[in-house]
């Protein structure tokens, strides 16, 4: 079971720390459907060099848009060597006919129900070409094969997912396209989630769910069950869910110390055009203040290049993020992923300028822009990253935190993410990355 890397190792954008954060949970989840007598291996090209000189009976590849060409090359290689190749993932679901040119079988959509049917058919020597999920639930799936994950290679080995999909339907969302047919958002049981959490060593957890607060009843019960477990954790939520009710306070009491928030754009016209209704007329500043008052650090996500952006968008965004002490910022160039409503709209308007999937990396302009030239958009995107992570702005943002502890945690967390690259590379090369996890736990404890 192989996860090809999203970037080439010699690419200037390949950041070893970024690609050493989380293990391939998707593959480990599907690996649980093999027999205990099967010899199964998981290979993650982000953290290890692939050895392609073997001849396994079956090769399973997880495919995203920017690793698609690498996945296809690996698939073609193994098929020439006589192995049976199966593919699944976001890109396969978006472009099944393309993937079928390189695979013997593809699995579209979430695999928890479709993949075991494929495994049974493969064992019976009658596999089909295409498998699609018919039932969507994760309440009684087998335990994740964490024994196949090399924990020491990852900074955050205790990552987990307790839901699938998202209750919202933004036009540009790659994940929403993946769950577009059938149930688009569902959770595991609270008891199962708590059992998984209890089985993980150490203190730190990272919930990789697209929206940890997406089901308020589930989230409330989960956080109640986590109280007293001594965990510190990170996750993702929307502006709407942070501002409404008391779920974010319950999450803080359970150990939430850092959260990913999709602010995306300050333009109400952009929000409407991309159907990001959960952000419409929301007070972003109030959201930031509420999180800061709770001692929760913020990873803010921002998207440039929507049709109502102008040349001042970049400056306004960075100034706001610094002024409101956003701990880390993730900037993106709007990217029309195949399968999304954004892609369908732009294709109908003749605005797609390339179908070289390796360029669909949220750093490259791949469509005809409006309001900004492609050069202005790329230049503004690069400037925003450089400006936000300038030491002077990191210090300026820290001053807005209310206590010395919060200011120190902010400084170390922000600086550590972007400014200490040689240190991270050294830790990765020497195999000491995972040993530094207590530093993150201590930062989050005081965040």
DSSP 300-324: EEEEE--TT--TTHHHHHHHHHHHT
Angle between helices 374-388 and 313-323 (to 10 degrees): 20
Residues in the chain: 447
**Bridge partners, residue 367, by sequence:** 352
> What confidence tens digit (pLDDT) does each residue in 188-232 have?
999 999 999 999 999 999 999 999 999 999 999 999 999 999 999
In angstroms, rounded to a whole number, what is the distance separating the alpha carbons of residues 294 and 145? 35
pLDDT recorded at residue 4: 96
| Among candidate residues 420, 418, 419, 408, the one with its CA nearest the CA of residue 444 | 408
* DSSP-H helix ranges across 227-336: 239-243, 247-254, 268-273, 284-293, 313-323
In angstroms, rounded to a whole number, what is the distance separating the alpha carbons of residues 66 and 171? 19
Check: CB of residue 205 under 8 Å from CB of residue 231: yes
Check: CB of residue 145 under 8 Å from CB of residue 117: no
In angstroms, rounded to a whole number, what is the distance separating the alpha carbons of residues 365 and 200? 41
Angle between helices 216-226 and 247-254 (to 10 degrees): 30
For residue 219, give the 3-state DSSP assignment.
helix
pLDDT recorded at residue 148: 97
The ranges of the chain with pLDDT < 70 are 10, 443, 445-447
Break the chain down into helix, strand, coil percent, rounded to 5: 40, 15, 45
Check: CB of residue 63 under 8 Å from CB of residue 90: yes
Backbone angles phi, psi at 142, to 5 degrees: -65, 160
User: What is the token pair recorded at 311?
Assistant: 């040349």
In angstroms, rounded to a whole number, what is the distance separating the alpha carbons of residues 183 and 176? 11
For the chain, the C-alpha Rg in angstroms (whole number) is 22
In angstroms, rounded to a whole number, what is the distance separating the alpha carbons of residues 210 and 193? 16
For residue 400, give the 3-state DSSP assignment.
coil
**Strands (DSSP E) along 323-388, which ranges?**
328-333
In angstroms, rounded to a whole number, what is the distance separating the alpha carbons of residues 259 and 268? 23
pTM: 0.93
């Amino acid at each position: 079971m192989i996860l090809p890397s999203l970037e080439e190792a010699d690419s200037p954008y390949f950041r070893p720390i970024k690609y050493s954060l989380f293990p391939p949970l998707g593959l480990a989840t599907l690996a649980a459907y093999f027999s205990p007598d099967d010899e199964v291996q998981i290979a993650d090209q982000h953290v290890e060099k692939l050895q392609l000189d073997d001849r396994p009976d079956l090769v399973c590849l997880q495919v995203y848009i920017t690793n698609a060409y690498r996945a296809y090359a690996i698939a073609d290689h193994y098929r020439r060597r006589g192995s049976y190749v199966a593919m699944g993932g976001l890109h396969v679901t978006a472009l099944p006919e393309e993937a079928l040119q390189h695979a013997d079988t593809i699995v579209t959509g979430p695999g928890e129900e479709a993949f075991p049917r494929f495994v049974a058919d493969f064992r019976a020597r009658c596999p089909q070409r295409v498998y699609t999920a018919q039932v969507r639930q994760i309440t009684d799936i087998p335990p994740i094969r964490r024994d196949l994950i090399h924990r020491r290679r990852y900074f955050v080995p205790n990552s987990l997912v307790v839901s699938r999909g998202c209750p919202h339907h933004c036009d540009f969302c790659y994940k929403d396209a993946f769950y577009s047919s059938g149930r688009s958002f569902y959770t595991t049981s609270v008891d199962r989630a708590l059992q998984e959490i209890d089985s993980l060593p150490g203190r730190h957890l990272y919930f990789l769910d697209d929206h940890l607060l997406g089901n308020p009843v589930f989230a409330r019960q989960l956080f109640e069950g986590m109280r007293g477990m001594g965990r510190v954790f990170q996750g993702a939520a929307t502006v709407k869910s942070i501002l409404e009710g008391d779920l974010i306070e319950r999450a803080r009491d359970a150990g939430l110390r850092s959260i990913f928030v999709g602010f995306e754009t300050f333009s109400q016209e952009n929000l409407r055009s991309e159907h990001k209704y959960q952000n419409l007329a929301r007070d972003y500043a109030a959201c930031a203040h509420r999180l800061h008052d709770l001692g929760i650090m913020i990873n803010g996500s921002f998207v440039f290049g929507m049709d109502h952006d102008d040349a001042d968008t970049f400056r306004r965004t960075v100034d706001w993020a610094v002024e409101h002490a956003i701990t880390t910022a993730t900037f993106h160039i709007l990217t029309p992923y195949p399968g999304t409503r954004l892609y369908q709209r732009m294709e109908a308007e003749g605005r797609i300028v390339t179908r070289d999937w390796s360029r669909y990396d949220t750093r490259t302009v791949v469509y005809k822009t409006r309001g900004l030239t492609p050069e202005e958009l790329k230049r503004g995107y690069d400037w925003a990253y450089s400006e936000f992570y300038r030491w002077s702005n990191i210090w300026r943002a820290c001053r807005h935190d209310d206590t010395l502890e919060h200011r120190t945690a902010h400084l170390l967390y922000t600086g550590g993410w972007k400014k200490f690259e040689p240190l991270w590379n050294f830790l990765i090369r020497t195999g000491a990355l995972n040993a530094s996890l207590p530093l993150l736990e201590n930062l989050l404890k005081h965040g």
